[in-house]
Structure 1
Amino acid sequence: MRVRVPGAPVFRFGAGFGMRAIRRKGQDMLSWIGLVGGLALLIWLTVRGVNILIAGPVAALVVAVTAGLPLLPPFAEAAGTGTQAGADFATSYMAGFTSFFADWFLMFLLGAIFGEVMAASGAAASVARWITAKLGSKYALLATVLAAAVLTYGGVSVFIVAFSVYSLSVSLFREANLPRRFIPGALAFGSVTFTMTSAGSPEIQNLIPMQYLGTTAYAGWQVSLVVAALMASLGYAWLSRMVRAAVAKGEGFEARGSDDAPEEGRHLPPPLLSLLPLVAVLGVFLTTQSLGKWALLAALSSGIVVAAAVGWQSLRALPGAFSTGATGATIAIANTCAVVGFGSIAQLTPAFAQALGAVQSLPGSPLIGAAVAVTTIAALTGSASGGQTIALPLIAPFYLGQGADPAALHRTVAIASGALDSLPHNGYVVTTIRVVCGETHARAYGAVGATTVVVPTIGLVVALILFSIF
């Protein structure tokens, strides 16, 4: 006769529950391994020179498989996958890919064409020659950084700034005989550091916190001013030192077949007249702010028209410039979309949700927790704006409830978003190094990483210290 042991059902339930808990912990651990491993794989493949259109989906696939995400829509389950209900790898990856393409393709297109027309018209070369003649070749690096900084603080998208200033920077570096592998570092430093996240900047990285914190674009301006000055001086000194060291080793400008021929003997438009296209872009953009991001279309279109008019004697070269710009824009935005797709998959994993929850429980100042949350998510998604838009809806009410000052939180989040976002897989970094400048990560990322990862991280630490004191 079988004896039924009292409480046995409870014991069996407990064991089953325990096994499910163990399995869930195992799945969560596998998700963590996949998320970290997928990010490491993406960075490694990118640095090794693998096309980002291949590296992005492959790394995202690793993240999806380890998170238990169904690969195709027919396999998607409504629940029980440990990820968002109904999500699948193919649909989610392409949703992130195509959404960025739809939002930004026209801006990429006009920005690339503008840069090519500036080169074909001779305007870029004219400005470069004038700067080097008046200031000396030692200011070629500074001129590149300042040109990028002015456009960025004027509100032109950092992607478009890279296209717009590249032709000018090539001419400047040629005149000064500086190694062209530092052009990506100069463009990135002027665009995504002390200008992008500073008080008053019209870039979205400074505007996103406003809707969640009830602040203005000038929130925390006192600390922002100090941090921006620190980043600008430290970053430029570091970049200049790297360039000088390379020149001392015998490096110089390396011409390419795709470059415009040196300008000796060619009629160039007057230098002040050649500045008008850049002035037109900035002026039209600032006067059409009511159009939102579409103001870029009006601004870039105006810049193209003015650049073509300035270089009317080179009109025969303009059709080729339009074609080259269109091709470059398509490649550039596709590369960026590949990274955005990876971020879309990363957001669906249990590890991503757990990481976000963990940073909210960090002890100490709410500003430290917010900084860690935003910069971590920005690193995982390869996007400063992505780090903010994902984290802020979740952390803003939490930290405001803990008594965090909204202005201090705004500035901390903005600066934090511009630190670890610039790892090698970042869409802007990939586009600027490989598509705009035609360089490799092995040659160019050292300067980019120093000025856009290390320097902003130092700025973030200083900001946290200053906010804790005042």
Structure 2
Amino acid sequence: MLGLLGILLGLALIMVLAFRSWTILLLAPLAAAVAALFSGQPMLAHWTQTFMPAAAGFVAQFFPLFLLGALFGKLMDDSGSVSAIADYMTRRLGPSRAILAVVAAGAMVTYGGVSLFVAFFVLAPMGQALFKAGSVPRRLLPAALALGTSTFTMSAMPGTPAIQNAIPMPFFGTTPFAAPGLGIIASIIMAAIGLGWLSFRERQAKARGEGYGAAEKGTAVSRELASTAREFDPAEISRAGSWGGRPPIGLAILPLVLVVVVNLILTQFVLPSMDFDFLSQPAWGETTLSAVGGVWSVALALLVACIVLVAMNRRRFRNLRESIDSGATAAVLPIMSVASLVGFGAVVAALPAFEMVRDWVLGIGGGPLVSLAVATNILAALTGSASGGMTIALQALGPTFMQIASDTGLDPALMHRVAVIASGTLDSLPHNGAVVTMLAVCGCTHRESYLDIVMAAIVSALVALVAVIVLGTAFGSF
């Protein structure tokens, strides 16, 4: 029992102190030491021989995606492309459909590969202007941003380049387009529930005569809390920038389209047609294409999009080298934060007491999909991180679920989609870095806006998750 208590105390330490802006870089090894201590295990040995190899392995595996994803988001921002898309949606939909405009603009840029943090800082001013012109309460803006940037484009849409969609690929040997039909259904459910709720709240407010509300300056955002387990460091947002000129809408959207199209072509046609038998040799890690192909396709798609983006907008950058430098630098803190959570998960999985946790998770009624969803949900909630919680769950239980899939004929693509959607549900608790950032840039408080975030980002995702599990259990992956 002491070992189990140590694991729970370690998770509590991460949750409570991360909410108070302590950095995960210190919290994760400290929490791992607490868990090891209560289990009577050697703390220093676990730190250097368990924690660090697992963290280093995550960096080795996913750094290309964090690096290129952060770089692409910064280049899209500094070229004026994100602002051009936001302005286009504003003109097309107008103040009368302010909520839909914010959701659509957020979905477009994040599905195309732009970091949600870049989207927050660019779309919030656009949303504030639209909401004010349309007399929509400002308190609804964070939920609209969350729905457009942090729900279906992060976890459900087939091929999304979000890091959350990439994490299960090495564990399950899947691609970014795993279970596309189920992903589309889940996306429709999330969007419908979120937009339905926000429209209902808007009608309620107008019936009461409530308008936009008083302007309020955004509060300071902790760098560590805001960027924990995400793919962009907000401290790099203000560096470099554009000359103010914006590309035409077609040129602004093209890099986003390239990310999705190149990713699809590589995943479905190019990589499977090539001979990668050499990967089985010790010199190349004795791996397979299915274990690395998904990461390769997303990384190459982002690289192609970055090259095209720079070529088309060279004169729009104030300082191209500084934009590139800040974009690359923006990847370091987030990946190290997630890697630290991975190290913590590896230590927990190595403790004798974890057998009790594994047995409890696998004993949950409803089958392996329900077990996987519950484990991912709980860890995402405790860590306040979709990617961090899912990585801990898969680091500890991934091989077990793959064995179950092999024994029962369960499609790993279905497990991939369930894990990703599950990671994006209870992660949006009040201590989540993205929630804190959204509220800050919109000038709102938890008391004003958090109920709407719950409905748009948590309830909608939970309903979609249940639907995917039910359909996947009945019909398999599609």
**Following the alignment from structure 1 to structure 2, what is the Cα–Cα distance between the partners of residues 60 and 421?**
24
| Equivalent residue, structure 2, for 1:319 | 321
| Equivalent residue, structure 2, for 1:406 | 410
**Following the alignment from structure 1 to structure 2, what is the Cα–Cα distance between the partners of residues 297 and 397?**
29
| Equivalent residue, structure 2, for 1:268 | 246
Question: What secondary structure is seen at the aligned counterpart in 1 of 2:247?
Answer: coil
Q: Which has the higher contact order (CA 8 A, sep 6+)?
A: 2
Please state how far the C-alpha of 1:144 moved relative to its aligned partner: 3.4
Please state how far the C-alpha of 1:98 moved relative to its aligned partner: 1.5
Which of the residues 32, 50, 65 maps onto 1:107? 65
Report the aligned-residue RMSD: 4.6
CA contact under 8 A between 1:227 and 1:462: conserved in structure 2?
Answer: yes
Give identity over the alignment, percent.
Answer: 25
**Following the alignment from structure 1 to structure 2, what is the Cα–Cα distance between the partners of residues 259 and 447?**
29
Confirm or deny that 1:337 pairs with 2:339: yes
Question: What secondary structure is seen at the aligned counterpart in 1 of 2:331?
Answer: helix
Matches within 5 A, 1:19-34: 29-34=1-6
**Following the alignment from structure 1 to structure 2, what is the Cα–Cα distance between the partners of residues 425 and 296?**
25
**Following the alignment from structure 1 to structure 2, what is the Cα–Cα distance between the partners of residues 45 and 113?**
30
Write the letter of the residue equivalent to 2:399: P
Which blocks of at least 5 consecutive residues in structure 2 are unaligned?
Answer: 132-137, 221-234, 272-292
**Following the alignment from structure 1 to structure 2, what is the Cα–Cα distance between the partners of residues 377 and 112?**
25
Write the letter of the residue equivalent to 1:250: A
Which of the residues 3, 10, 13 maps onto 1:41? 13
**Following the alignment from structure 1 to structure 2, what is the Cα–Cα distance between the partners of residues 110 and 150?**
15
**Following the alignment from structure 1 to structure 2, what is the Cα–Cα distance between the partners of residues 420 and 161?**
17
Please state how far the C-alpha of 1:110 moved relative to its aligned partner: 2.1
Matches within 5 A, 1:55-204: 55-73=27-45, 88-137=46-95, 138=98, 139-147=100-108, 150-151=111-112, 161-162=115-116, 165=119, 169-170=123-124, 172-173=126-127, 175-176=129-130, 183=145, 186-195=148-157, 203-204=165-166
CA contact under 8 A between 2:421 and 2:465: conserved in structure 1?
Answer: no
CA contact under 8 A between 2:55 and 2:340: conserved in structure 1?
Answer: yes
Question: What secondary structure is seen at the aligned counterpart in 2 of 1:311?
Answer: helix
Write the letter of the residue equivalent to 2:252: S
Give the structure-1-normalised TM-score: 0.69
Q: 1:267 to 1:465 in 2, by over 3 A?
A: closer
CA contact under 8 A between 2:159 and 2:260: conserved in structure 1?
Answer: no
CA contact under 8 A between 2:219 and 2:443: conserved in structure 1?
Answer: no
**Following the alignment from structure 1 to structure 2, what is the Cα–Cα distance between the partners of residues 295 and 369?**
29
| Equivalent residue, structure 2, for 1:415 | 418
Write the letter of the residue equivalent to 1:162: L
Deviates more, 1:416-425 or 1:269-278: 416-425
| Equivalent residue, structure 2, for 1:461 | 466
Q: 1:121 to 1:197 in 2, by over 3 A?
A: closer
**Following the alignment from structure 2 to structure 1, what is the Cα–Cα distance between the partners of residues 320 and 102?**
28
Which of the residues 349, 352, 358 maps onto 1:350? 352
Which of the residues 353, 370, 389 maps onto 1:383? 389
Give the structure-2-normalised TM-score: 0.68
Write the letter of the residue equivalent to 2:190: M
Deviates more, 1:360-369 or 1:99-108: 360-369
**Following the alignment from structure 2 to structure 1, what is the Cα–Cα distance between the partners of residues 465 and 153?**
17
| Equivalent residue, structure 1, for 2:260 | 282
Write the letter of the residue equivalent to 1:131: M
Asked which structure has the greater CA Rg, the reply is 1
**Following the alignment from structure 2 to structure 1, what is the Cα–Cα distance between the partners of residues 346 and 241?**
44
**Following the alignment from structure 1 to structure 2, what is the Cα–Cα distance between the partners of residues 228 and 203?**
14
Confirm or deny that 1:305 pairs with 2:307: yes
Number of corresponding residues: 408
**Following the alignment from structure 1 to structure 2, what is the Cα–Cα distance between the partners of residues 460 and 450?**
14
CA contact under 8 A between 2:2 and 2:38: conserved in structure 1?
Answer: yes
**Following the alignment from structure 2 to structure 1, what is the Cα–Cα distance between the partners of residues 63 and 356?**
34
